[in-house]
Amino acid sequence: MAMALPSLYTNTTTATLSKTMAGSPALAMRLFRSFPAVRAIPTARHISTSTATPPLFAASFASTAQQEQPAYCWKAPKEEYLDNCPVLIVGAGDLGRRIGLVWASNSRPVTIYDESQEALKSATEYLTDNLGEYCTRRRTHPGHVCFTTDLRIATTTGRFEGVTGLSHKADLELDSGSHSPWLVIDCLPENLELKIETFSHLEQALGKRTILASNSASLSTSEMAPHLQYPERLLNTHYFIPPRNRMVELMSSTRTDPEIFPFLAQQMRRVGLRPMIVPPGVQSPGFIFNRIWAACKRETLAVLAEGVAKPADVDALFRDFFHAEKGPCERMDEVGLDRVAQVEAHCQEQNPTMGKQHALQWLKENYVLEGKLGEKAGDGLYTKEEREELKERHEIERFKEVEETMGA
């Protein structure tokens, strides 16, 4: 039975498309709030935003970690409802907004939640600047994108137009006529407790068919599944840096319903993604690529920490040997050195014998604690000025390669 809750009028604000790029969002889950009535004012052709009201009360739910739950067989939502049911992105940081862009690139609705107004401003600017151009290249049409600081709204409806009141959707299915998300993608920091808390709350607010996916680079959903009531719909979906990189690794929580994989892979292909599935029953810390990439990062950091080479030297060797666009130092700056440190710390906790702990300590002391986090902060392994010079050199080198090819 749906639980009626009091409603308030909530002003919906036009997104400020400033050029201010916020730092990484401070994400603390304030999930169960009073339900406001909402009115949307589109800020661009396909983009709208909503601002949360202060909470009137908080609803608490009993932990399901210790409860014995009956087996649940996941059922795919009907295809005709997917055009109206959004993909919900939890976290508007660099990866969250990029993943949102890809899912919105084929007329699909997307809702992006973040508690930080600054993060939503930055994400709104990113999608406003890039979604139309990306769809033009793919010859597709953009879907409606909503931004909100109230996750209660995001889990209840994917559309703001015409909504006059909201109610609890814990007992509703996707085919009941609601616009509840059919897919939730967690783009939160690499913090196991935060992710468990988030998913535990989300499954109370969403229908049983909603797929819960974690974009964690190092945390397996097998560590989260025991805390959920319906772990059969939980899995890892590890994106890289979309839309440039379109590969996505899918891995089971060991309890994921096997029917989810072909269904989700099909939906991913429709928006131009390239899913790669780790065989069911196989658990691989770091998935596929990250296990290989982790060794490269670890040795790169050790080389830098020991003073063997500078970042530019490492990247020059890497680009020359592999004919790569960028080297490992450039890639780490791009991802964010705080995220690199989080992933490496988790890997070392899982495998203390891998060594190179001094490299992680060097990274934390000389960069992360100093606020030198890479591109998003300006300075990282490269300073902002060095990165700009490197970009110019790359462009000159590419121009020379084109000239040589044309003259050959």
Judged by phi (left if over 0) then psi (alpha if -120 to 50, else beta), residue 407 lies in alpha
123-132, 211-220, 324-333, 390-399: range with lowest mean pLDDT: 390-399
Helix or strand or coil: residue 218? coil
Cβ-based neighbour number of residue 352 at 10 Å:
8
* Rounded to 5°, angle at Cα 46 from 45 and 47: 105
CA distance 12 to 239: 31
Mean pLDDT of 340-351: 84
pLDDT score for 83: 83
Q: Higher confidence at residue 13 or residue 255?
A: 255
Q: At 332, phi and psi to the nearest 5?
A: -65, -40
Integer Cα distance of 382 and 343 in angstroms: 20
Q: Could you report the per-residue pLDDT of 191-234, keeping only the tens digit for each?
A: 999 999 999 999 888 988 899 999 998 889 999 999 999 999 99
The confidence band for 16, taking pLDDT boundaries of 50, 70 and 90, is very low
Statement: residue 287 has pLDDT above 50: yes
Domain 289-407 listed as CATH 1.10.3720.10: no
9-277 placed in CATH 1.10.3720.10:
no
pTM of the complete model: 0.69
SS3 assignment, position 106: helix
The residue extents of the domains of the chain are 9-277, 289-407
Q: In what order do the strands lie in the sheet with 145-148?
A: 47-50, 145-148, 110-113, 87-90, 183-186, 211-214, 234-239, 247-252, 274-277
Name the average pLDDT for the chain: 78
Residues 6+ apart with CB under 8 A from 393: none
33-79 pLDDT, tens digit per residue, is 333 333 332 334 456 665 543 332 233 333 344 344 445 688 888 88
